[in-house]
Each structure stands twice: as C-alpha cells, then as structure tokens.
Structure 1
Amino acid sequence: MISISPDPLTVARRYAAAAAGPAGWPVPLRFDPTQRWYTRLASTADHEVWLLSWLPGQHTDLHDHGGSAGAFLVASGALTEETVVRAELRPRTLGTGVGRRFGPRHVHRVSNQGNVPAVSVHVYRPALRSMTRYHLDGGRLRVAEVAEAGVAW
C-alpha cells in the first residue's frame, strides 16, 4: 500500500479552522512581549505542527528549515515573508487565511510589520531537526548559526 503524506498547507488550514478563534486552540494562546511565542501542537511519523504568536515588530532571523519542506498559514493578523531574490530581500505580505508552501531549501525571514498581533500555524515535513540562520552579506547568504532541535528550541 502506498502512503501519501498530507499536503502541509491543508494540514495548517485544518488546525486553523478547528481553532476558529483564540480560545479554540488546543493549548492556551500566549503573546510574549519579549519574543515570539511558539508551541508544538502535533507530531506524527511524517510531519509536525507548530502554533506561533507574533506581536507587532516581532520577527525571525533569515533562516532555513534544515531540509524540511512545509507550509505556514496566517490564522489571524498579517505577516510579512521576505525571501532572497537576486541577492536582495523581497517582501510579500500574507493576511488572515493566506498561506504558502515551501520546499526543503527555502530560506526566508518572517515578521509582524503590522500594528495588531498575528497568529500562524506552521507544518514541517519531516519534523524539524535543525534550522540554519543566515546573514545576507554583499548579496550572498552567510551562515550565522545552526540551531538543533531539542537544544535551541
């Protein structure tokens, strides 16, 4: 029998739809004024699901997902994703209900550049084992740090 993994954006949409608001998440949603808040909602043999909250101004560093592919969906608010295109960062704003899939070599930075809190659901396949953080230096990606699951998060 052939097993087909679920589309990661479809999985993210299911979690967001099931929550139907801040009180509906399987864990209490939190907003931390000092850093993005995140928690793992599920882990299966082929993927994992994370819930993140973002206050205005909070962001990730430029990073990859250690070879994992996946998707993220903005459950509320808006997030800006910046990807490297021709040696510079190109922004794309995603509003409530908008998501995007990404491959195993995807490098991006995500931020809440708005003035209201945001919530997002992230699905990784396979589960995250590491994340590499980068600096964009002279149009080239330079490794700043490799963070490992169970150590850095």
Structure 2
Amino acid sequence: MTQAAVVTDHLAIARRYAADPLAWPVAPRFSATDRWYARLGEYPDHEVWLLTWLPGQGTDLHDHGGSAGALHVVSGSLVEDVVTPVADGGYRMNVRHLDAGLGHSFGPRYVHRIVNRSRRPAVSVHVYGPALTTMTRYRLSAMGLEIAEVEHAGVEW
C-alpha cells in the first residue's frame, strides 16, 4: 500500500490568517514609496506573508520560482492580471478583480501581476509552498513573455 502525498491547502491557510489579524506578529503598515510586506509565519512546507497596497501600488509580472500558493484579500480591493498561454504559442492577459474576502489558489507555474487600482488601501495575505527562494520578473513584448530579472530570497527581499 502506498502512502498518498499530503497536499497543503494554501487558500485555507490564507483565509485562516486573514480571519485573525489580532494573531499576526506584526500590524500592517503602509509605505508611500512601495508595497510593504512582512512574513507572518514560516513552516516546513509553506510560508505566509502580509502585504499592503496603497492606491496605484502593484507588482511587475512575476512568478513564484516554482512555488504554488494562494492569496486572500483582507481589506480593500486588488486587480490581478494573469498571463495565460494560448494555442498559437502566444499569451493573453486575464483580469481578475479581488475584493475583500476573496482569494484563490495558484499552481507553481503561475505568472501574474497585482495592482491596487482602487482609491482605498488594501491588505492581503499570501501563502507560498514551498517557501519562496526565487521570483522571476517578466515583460510582455512582441517576442512573447521575456525574463526581465530573477530575484533571490535573502538578497532582493
């Protein structure tokens, strides 16, 4: 008899953290210059991050270095642009609006960007498993999806 692999429910973890902000080891902060983030928890198979977003703040297109994960919006609203490959070898952008209380899981090859396009600050919880070691930033060009930069944990964040 074989033992089934244990699959971590990243979205359930994100929701659990989002539901109990008084248990967070750090309170959310906001920075006028860039998104603010802090690690809320680190475990053998995943890590949990808290991110804040002032209006207009966002990420570049990026992946999570082979980690799967989830995000959950605690307050405010965010817009997520997801890069999806199409049959002809190209890519298209799918837009997802995430208001407070909404979130979703994603797999290890997920490329997206997140932006606060509202007029209010936003707070979100992100879970990655395994813990992030790299993040690749991309740009979309006439040639397709191109690597712009690879960032490393402990160096760039």
Q: TM-score per shorter chain, which class?
A: over 0.9
Matched, 1:59 2:58: yes
Q: How big is each residue's C-alpha offset from its partner over 1:97-147, in whole Å with a ceiling of 9 and x where there is no partner?
A: 100110000000000000000000000000000000000001610000000
Separation (CA, whole Å) in 2 of partners of 1:57 and 1:122: 19
TM-score (normalised: structure 2): 0.90
The residue type paired with residue 95 of structure 2 is: P
Tell me, yes or no, if the aligned pair for 1:5 and 1:46 is still in contact at 8 Å: no
User: Which residue identity lines up with residue 9 of structure 1 in the other structure?
Assistant: L
Q: Which deviates further from its counterpart, 135-144 or 33-42? A: 135-144
C-alpha RMSD over aligned residues: 1.5
Partner of 1:102: 106
Describe the SS at the equivalent of 1:142. strand
Q: Which runs of 5+ in 1 are unaligned?
A: none
Paired amino acid for 1:77: G
Over the matched positions of the two proteins, sequence identity in percent amounts to 57
TM-score by length of 1: 0.92
Q: 1:15 aligns with which of 17, 35, 49?
A: 17
Does the C-alpha gap of structure 1 residues 32 and 138 become closer, same or farther in structure 2, counting only changes over 3 Å?
same
Among 114, 121, 142, the alignment partner of 2:146 is: 142
**Where in structure 1 do 4 or more consecutive aligned residues deviate above 6 Å?**
none
Counterparts of 1:144 and 1:58, CA distance in 2: 19
Q: Does 1:113 align with 2:123?
A: no
User: Equivalents in 1 of 2:118, 2:23: separation in Å?
Assistant: 23
- The answer to whether residue 92 in structure 2 is matched with residue 88 in structure 1 is yes
Counterpart of 1:141, as a letter, is L
CA distance in 2, matches of 1:35, 1:44: 27
Q: Judge which range, 66-75 or 77-86, deviates more.
A: 77-86
Structure 2: gaps of 5 or more residues:
none
Moved more, 45-54 or 138-147: 138-147
Distance 1:139 1:116 in 2: 36
Corresponding residue number in structure 2 for 1:75: 74
- Larger mean CA deviation between 32-41 and 87-96 belongs to 87-96
Specify which of 5, 8, 18 is matched with residue 6 of structure 1. Answer: 8
Q: Are 2:127 and 1:123 equivalent residues in the alignment? A: yes
Deviation readout 1:7-59 (Å, 9 max, x if unpaired): 0000000001111xxx6632021000000000001000000000000000000
State the Cα distance separating 1:84 from its structure 2 match.
Answer: 1.7
Question: What is the distance in 2 between the residues matched to 1:83 and 1:75?
Answer: 20
